[in-house]
Structure formats: C-alpha cells, structure tokens
Amino acid sequence: MKPIQRNILLNPGPATTTDTVKYAQVVPDICPREKEFQEVMDGIRADLVKIVNGGDDYTSVLFGGSGTSGMEATLASVVAYDSQVLLLINGAYGQRMLQITETYDIPTVVYNVEWGTAIDWSEVDAMCANNPDIGYIAMVHHETTTGILNPLGPFLEIARKYDLVTMVDTISSYAGIPIDLQGTPVDFLMSTSNKCIQGMAGLAFIICRNEVLKQLKDVPGRTVYLDLYKQYEYFERTGQMRFTPPVQVVYALRQAIDEYLDEGIQNRWERYSTSYQVLTQGLEEMGFRFLLGGDVEHSRILMTIYEPDDPNYDFTELHDRLYERGFTIYPGKVSDKETFRLSVLGAIDQNDIREFLRNLREVLREMNIEVKYTRF
C-alpha cells in the first residue's frame, strides 16, 4: 500500500484519515442493490448502534449527505404538526436547527444564550413549565462553534419531567466522546461519517429509539429525500437506501468503524483528550488565550482561541504558511469576536500536535508576531 501524503487537519472535520480508510474506497464497481452491498450496510447500521450502546432499543438510519442532512431529516420528520419543538441555542449549529425548522414551518420555541455560554437549565425548565404545547426538545451536544459541551444529563432530566421527545446533534462528538444510550437514552442522535468516526464525508446517520421512530409511521412527511421513517422502513424491508448511496464512502465508513472498534471508545477519547491537553498547554506557553473559561464544560475536542492583537497578525497569512507545512487551521465562527479554532479530532495524536506547535512557533517568528493582548 503506497502511503498517501499525510495532512494534519486541525479543522473540525472532514478530518485526517488513515491510509487504510482512504484505500478502502478503492473497490470493484458494485451495484448498491446487490446483496453483497446490503450486507455491508446491515453491518454498518448495527455497529453504529453498538458504538453508543443502543442495544435492542435502537436502530440506525443512513442518508447520503453531510451532517446537516441528518439534522434536517430528524427535525423535519420527527416533529408532529400539532406540537412545538424547543431549540436550545448557544452556537451556530443550534442556530442551524432554527434555520431548518423555519424553512419547514415547524412551530418552534427558542431558548437562546450567548454563544459559548452554558445553558441555564432552570430557565429551560421554566419555559417547558409555561408552555404545554412543547412536545420536543433539541440541542447540540458538542457545539463546534466554540468547543462547549452541552451535557446530556440535565437535558434528559427536563425531557423526562415534561415528557418530551429528544433530539441531539452529536455530529462532532459521536465516537469521540463516550455516549451510553442505556444511561442517557436520547430518542434521536444525529451524526456524520467524517468527524470523530474518522471516515470520509458523504453520509449522515441517525441513531433512533425504535419505540419513538415507529410512531412516525403516520406523520405525513415534509421532505421526499430526507423522510426518516420512509428511509428506515425501506432499510428494514430491503436492506438498502431508498436513493443512490455514496458507495465508496460506505466502504470507507466500514473500515473506519473497524478501526474505531479496534481502538476502543476509551482509547479514542483518551487520544483526543491528550492531544487537547498538549495543544492547550503549548498555546498557553506561547501566550494565547481562549474563549471558553473554566465555568463551562469543554468538549476537549475543539478550542476557540483569541487572535493576538499584534499588527503583524493576519489569519489568512498564518493559515497559508501553516498549510504549506501540512497543517490546516480553521477560522472562528463567533461573529463579534476575533478568534480562530483548532480541533484534535481525526487520525492524529499528541506527536502531530507537538509538531504543529513547533511549526506554529516558527511561523509566528517568521511573521514577526508577538502573542499579546491589549484588550483583556
């Protein structure tokens, strides 16, 4: 197997992948309606449930598309026409959920806090207590906008108290942060093939609690392609997707899942966590400061870093110089703050992070940048 040039992607997915995952896409042509391909899909569906310990209570449904298609399939298919969904928003991906519900004209109630700020669960509780029409609640687990982790425990406590159906975007946490659906039984978890599971971009998947999924049978669909129940029903009946799947991406996901199961959830989490720690320490030593403080829970997968005040600093130039050296850094997403982001998800480890820090130091020197802040 000829090694492929290895780029260290510090953007939060699509991530650096192993060569074995890349090469898994090189397969003989096959019609996805063949039994052989259905068996691959069957295995993937079962393993996606296993990764979050769903047991027999859960199933998984895949769509060809990026993570957003999974969010859209869930929100547009799950929420009943005569009910309301409460969206908890503290970042751009929570905001995207709102964009979806507005587009589909789904009755929505919004709990908004400043991006990067923790959700105040007593306020969410009060909103539910005051509005009996709320039947659904949704949030983003790891809000990749900032790196904040919105905890599943209090979210589920409120859902249980008010008997709400739960939907969680775990697009940038699934397979990176351990999730145990036996302990935290979210009804619908959305994710994608190209983040912590370390496959290629092109598949979205939703882990669904059977009992709730089956109730969608009689809910008229709002979308043709992204109809969650119809896709599930077709998978169950035929073992196939309703529409053409990204065949080679499916093979890459098969390989990525095998590599995930070999590594184990705890080891993957520790690998990410160690990289995060090394990165945090290295940046702190250089003088960098971070958006999130000690008062909120960190994903330990992504961090938002304040840009230094030095007049020589220019993100594009910093990016381009690091890119030439094989490292990709990512711009910030919090509009009123000057930040950039770094993520440790993907097939990288602490040694890559140390190499990155060494290169960053050199580039800062080349650009004559002093990491200092006058605005704090």
Binding interface with ligand PLP (CB under 6 A): 12-13, 66-68, 93, 140, 144, 169, 171-172, 192
CB nearer to ligand PLP: give 67 or 116: 67
CB nearer to ligand PLP: give 59 or 68: 68
- Tokens, residue 213: 């999924």
Minimum distance between the CB of residue 91 and ligand PLP, rounded to whole angstroms?
8
CB nearer to ligand PLP: give 100 or 165: 100
Distance CA 166, CA 17 (A): 31
Minimum distance between the CB of residue 172 and ligand PLP, rounded to whole angstroms?
4
CB nearer to ligand PLP: give 169 or 307: 169
Minimum distance between the CB of residue 239 and ligand PLP, rounded to whole angstroms?
25
CB nearer to ligand PLP: give 79 or 369: 79
CB nearer to ligand PLP: give 231 or 299: 299
Question: CB 296: neighbour CB atoms within 10 A?
Answer: 17
Nearest CA to 255 out of 4, 47, 28 is that of: 47
Minimum distance between the CB of residue 252 and ligand PLP, rounded to whole angstroms?
15
Minimum distance between the CB of residue 256 and ligand PLP, rounded to whole angstroms?
15
Going by the DSSP 8-state scheme, the letter that residue 253 receives in this structure is: H
Give SS3 for 302. Answer: strand
Minimum distance between the CB of residue 173 and ligand PLP, rounded to whole angstroms?
8
Instruction: Scan for tokens 């904040």, then name that residue.
Output: 148
- Tokens, residue 156: 């589920």
Distance CA 361, CA 356 (A): 9
- Cβ 118 vs Cβ 139: under 8 Å: no
Residue nearest to ligand PLP (CB): 67
Give SS3 for 240. Answer: coil
Instruction: Scan for tokens 């699509």, then name that residue.
Output: 14
- Cβ 34 vs Cβ 247: under 8 Å: no
